[in-house]
Amino acid sequence: MTWSLDDFVVRALIAGIGVALVAGPLGCFIIWRRMAFFGATMSHAALLGVSLAFLLNINVTLGIIGACTVTALILLSLMRLRVLPSDTLLGLLAHASLALGLVAISFQDTLRIDLLSLLFGDILSVSRGDLGWILGGGAVALAALALIWRPLLSATVHEELAQVEGVRVRLVQAAFVLVMAVVVAIAMKIVGLLLIISLLLIPPAVARRFATTPEVMAFVAALVGVLSVIGGIEASLVWDTPAGPSIVTAATVLFVISLPLSSAIWHALFRKPKKAHHHDH
């Protein structure tokens, strides 16, 4: 096998790894801030972004980033008003934007959108152009995350303490949401909008056990994401399974292996029986 960008597998691997590298660190914050449902809502809004992009004839990635950002900012301001509980707001906006996206798609004369690939991803059809967007967007998102890392960490530990200490919490929060929108947009092609949140949540969940600092957790999460992408794409080629779901399944397998229960079972099954050894003498 030669490593060339003409090979769809190579393009898929590069795209997947590019997304995993930023999804891991970003996902850590989503877990620490308990924003899993928030992320899911943003990924639902991505469909609305796709259909609007087709209707307005603009770039799809930009459409997704726009729709996700607007949805997230509406969410943040509604949450601050405290009119409704936040899980109600999240559920409402997630499904409202999904429905709106589906309705907007139906307005097109000819159906040019492959709905299945939007929902579950189409990593094996990543083009050179897609690759540019994914790597460029991923690099920008990772750089932005590194830039706001410290104030965001401080605001995550205690928002008011950070604010009193001079952190511009709302600005940092808005930047964080924008990074999330970019990552959702570039991950859409990889695993589809229904599975994006798993790519953000599972690698950090695996990493938590092995981490003593926030930075180690982010690094391990990126690594776990990369392993999941490689494993998932390999599996999909060998067993002819859909690539996006295979990547998420690979991540899930890593998660199960990382559970304390798994290591306990491992030890119980394969540990050498030391006491029997003593009795022999």
Partner 1 sequence: MNITPAQPTTHDTLIDARGLIKHYGGHTVIDSVDLTLRRGELTTLIGPNGSGKTTLVRLLLGLERPNAGTVTAPPDLRIGYVPQRIHVDESMPITVRRFLALGGARASGIKTALDEVGAQHVLNAPLQTISGGEMRRVLLARALLRDPDLLVLDEPTAGVDLNGQSELYDLINAVRRQKNCAVLLISHDLHIVMAATDHVVCLNHHVCCSGAPDAVSAHPEYLALFGPKAAHTHAVYTHDHDHAHTVAGDVVPLADDAS
Query: Which of residues 150, 170, 263, 265 is near partner 1 by CB under 8 A?
Result: 150
Query: Which of residues 43, 69, 156, 246 is near partner 1 by CB under 8 A?
Result: 156
Here the contacts of 109-115 (C-beta below 8 Å, separation 24 or greater) are: 112/54, 113/50, 113/51, 113/54
Q: Which is closer to partner 1, CB of 2 or CB of 212?
A: 212
Shortest distance in whole angstroms from residue 164 CB to partner 1: 4
- Only one of the segments 11-19, 122-130, 157-165, 234-242 lies at the binding site for partner 1 (rule: CB under 8 A); that segment is 157-165
| Chain position carrying tokens 């449902």 | 37
Q: Which is closer to partner 1, CB of 80 or CB of 274?
A: 80
H-helix or E-strand spanning residue 133: helix 128-157
> Is 46 in contact with 67 (CB distance < 8 Å)?
yes
Query: Which of residues 56, 102, 161, 264 is near partner 1 by CB under 8 A?
Result: 161
Closest CA to 176 of 32, 47, 281, 62: 32
Residue 191 CA, chain-centre distance (Å), reads: 9
Q: Which is closer to partner 1, CB of 92 or CB of 169?
A: 169
Q: Which is closer to partner 1, CB of 167 or CB of 194?
A: 167
Q: Which is closer to partner 1, CB of 80 or CB of 277?
A: 80
215, two tokens: 């930075």
Q: Which is closer to partner 1, CB of 67 or CB of 162?
A: 162
Annotate each residue in 180-219 with x if it binds partner 1 (CB under 8 A) or - if it does not, as one string: ------------------------x---x--xxxx-xx--
Q: How many CB atoms lie within 10 A of CB 95?
A: 12
Q: Which is closer to partner 1, CB of 198 or CB of 246?
A: 198
Query: Which of residues 5, 55, 139, 164 is near partner 1 by CB under 8 A?
Result: 164
Query: Which of residues 92, 100, 153, 230 is near partner 1 by CB under 8 A?
Result: 153
By CB under 8 A, is residue 165 in contact with partner 1?
yes
Give the footprint of partner 1 on residues 72-131 (CB under 8 A): none
User: What is the rounded distance in angstroms from the CA atom of residue 130 to the CA atom of residue 127?
Assistant: 5
Query: What Å distances lie between residue 206 and 165, 214, 230, 259, CA to CA?
Result: 33, 13, 16, 8
- Only one of the segments 11-19, 31-39, 98-106, 114-122 lies at the binding site for partner 1 (rule: CB under 8 A); that segment is 31-39
Dihedral over alpha carbons 207, 208, 209, 214 (to 10 degrees): 100
31, two tokens: 């877990």
Burial of 223 (0-12, 13-18, 19+ CB in 10 A): middle
Residues forming contacts to partner 1 in the complex (CB under 8 A) are: 31-34, 150, 153-154, 156-158, 160-161, 163-165, 204, 208, 211-214, 216-217
